Amino acid sequence: MKTAVYPGSFDPVTNGHLSILRRGLEIFDRVIVAVAVNPEKKGLFTIPERVDMINEVIADIPGASVDTFEGLLVDYVESVDSNVILRGLRAMSDFEYEFQLALMNRRLKRKVQSVFLMTDYKWFYVSSTIIKEASALGGDTNGLIPSSVARRLREKYDALAKEGKGTGAGGGL
């Protein structure tokens, strides 16, 4: 059984993430979607909300599971008896940062290998950030995120509006 860990913030999970997960499962027997817990980085969704959303959308994907981790990713990878980090690449702009992360992770634990899959052209421009911006402004994200995630985004922004809180979105979109 070969296990890979697919780490990220998944705030929230998108069809781009799911594509990498499904394709990762064509190479590995198990892929653990690992949501990074970073107390300094407050996202839109809480960690339990992100895990819930992932759980809903991976229910019908054999071999996929979700977990959270805190601290060094390479330690988490080892703790689940894996030596593979799975990451997705979109544009050249991803490459530089991913290269840096991969080299550092390799330095931290040599036996852990980083594996990259190129995104499908359909998800090239999809990021959690751009989805949040579009949703906050009432834009249609249909087809870019699972419908359960779209519903949660609407609920989240409605709740923020009721609290009288701004979404921080706007500018390019």
Instruction: Using CB under 6 A, list all residues that contact ligand ADP.
Output: 8-10, 14, 16-17, 20, 87-88, 90, 94, 119, 123, 126-129
> Is 148 noted as a catalytic residue in this protein?
no
Phi, psi of 166 (to 5 degrees): -75, 165
Count CB neighbours of 74 within 10 A.
20
Of the candidates 90, 106, 109, 114, the residue annotated as catalytic is: 90
**One-letter amino acid for residue 106 of the chain:** R
* Smallest separation (angstroms) from ligand ADP to the CB of 54: 11
| Dihedral over alpha carbons 11, 14, 17, 19 (to 10 degrees) | 170
* Smallest separation (angstroms) from ligand ADP to the CB of 9: 4
> Is 23 noted as a catalytic residue in this protein?
no
| Three-state DSSP state, 22 | helix
Alpha-carbon distance of 68 to 76, in angstroms, equals: 9
Phi, psi of 119 (to 5 degrees): -65, 155
Tokens of 165: 């809180």
> Is 114 noted as a catalytic residue in this protein?
no
- Using Cβ positions, the residue closest to ligand ADP within the complex turns out to be 16
* Smallest separation (angstroms) from ligand ADP to the CB of 6: 7
Smaller CB distance to ligand ADP: residue 80 or 101?
101
> Is 128 noted as a catalytic residue in this protein?
yes
Strand bridging mode 64-69 / 30-36:
parallel
Smaller CB distance to ligand ADP: residue 80 or 102?
102
The verdict on whether omega for the bond into residue 12 sits within 30 degrees of 0, i.e. cis, is yes
Of the candidates 50, 82, 128, 152, the residue annotated as catalytic is: 128
* Smallest separation (angstroms) from ligand ADP to the CB of 88: 2
Smaller CB distance to ligand ADP: residue 20 or 73?
20
Smaller CB distance to ligand ADP: residue 8 or 83?
8
List residues with catalytic annotation. Answer: 17, 41, 90, 128
